[in-house]
Structure 1
Amino acid sequence: MAENIIIPISPDSLLEEVLKMKNSECRLVQICSTRTQDGYELSYSFGKDYDLYNLRFTIGEDAQIPSITNIYPTAFLYENEIHDLFGVQIKMISVDYQGTLYRTDKKTPFK
C-alpha cells in the first residue's frame, strides 16, 4: 500500500535528513514553498517504490537555508524557483540563476 508520510524537521537538520533519504535510495520528487503568516513552510518530497516521504519545516522571512544540490544536483531548479518566486534565501546553490530563472513583472511575486 502506498504511503504519504510527513516528517517534521528543523531547518538545521535539513542536510542530515536529505542525506538519509539519499542513502535510503529515495529519489527527489519535488520541493515546494508556501507563504505563512511569519515566513514560509517548505516541503521536500522524496519517493521510494510507492511511498512518498515529505520533510517539512518552517522558516522566518529572513532566514537562510542550505542548498541540497550537493546531494541531489537536480534540486537547483526547485531552489532557484523558490528563491525567485518567494524570496527564500538558499545558500550555495550549485547552479544559481541569482533571481533570473523566471522573468516576472514583480520581483518575488509570492513574497
Structure 2
Amino acid sequence: MIENLTEVTPDTLASEVLKYKNQGYRLVGMTCTNKTEETVDLLYHLDRDLEMHTLRMEALRDAPVPSISGVYFCAMLPENEMRDQFALVFDGLVLDFNRTLLLDEEVTLEQVPLANNLKITKK
C-alpha cells in the first residue's frame, strides 16, 4: 500500500498538482502502468522535506491525458517517455517530441514497447 496516496481525476489533476507545488513540493517522478486494455494508472510522486506524496489517476488510453508540464516543466520528460512507451497523448504538453524522445520515427503504434500486447487503435 502506498502511504500518502490521493486519488485524482483528469479534471482535478492540475489543481491538485498546483496545490502541492504552492506548498513547496517538488516532482520527483512519474510512473505509468497498464491496468486494462482501455486504461492505465498514472502515479505522480511529490516530495517536500523527505515526505513523499503520491497522486494516482486512472486514465483512458484513447483519451488525451492532461499534462502537468505547465506546472512542473520537468514533467515533459516522463510524459514524453510515456507517450513513447505507452502510446499516450498528453494535452498541453509544453514540449512534445511526438513519440521520438526514445523511439525512432519508423516505430509504428503497433510496435509501442509497453503497449504492444494491447489493442492500439489511435492514429
State the TM-score, normalized to the length of structure 2: 0.82
Match of 2:34 in 1: 35
Match of 2:89 in 1: 89
CA drift of 1:4 comes to: 3.7
CA distance in 1, matches of 2:61, 2:32: 12
Q: Which amino acid letter does the alignment assign opposite residue 15 of structure 2?
A: E
CA distance in 1, matches of 2:99, 2:25: 29
- Report if the CA contact (8 A) 1:40-1:59 is conserved: yes
CA distance in 2, matches of 1:109, 1:89: 15
Match of 1:52 in 2: 52
CA distance in 2, matches of 1:72, 1:42: 16
Gaps of 5+ in 2: 116-123
What is the aligned-residue identity percentage?
Answer: 32
CA distance in 2, matches of 1:22, 1:81: 22
- Report if the CA contact (8 A) 1:9-1:55 is conserved: yes
Match of 1:25 in 2: 24
More strand by share: 1
Aligned length: 109
Higher relative contact order structure (alpha carbons within 8 Å, sequence separation ≥ 6) = 1
CA drift of 1:9 comes to: 1.1
CA drift of 1:108 comes to: 2.1
- Report if the CA contact (8 A) 1:4-1:51 is conserved: no
State the TM-score, normalized to the length of structure 1: 0.90
CA distance in 2, matches of 1:88, 1:72: 19
- Report if the CA contact (8 A) 2:84-2:103 is conserved: no
| Corresponding position: 1:100 with 2:100 | yes
Match of 1:13 in 2: 12
CA distance in 2, matches of 1:81, 1:70: 17
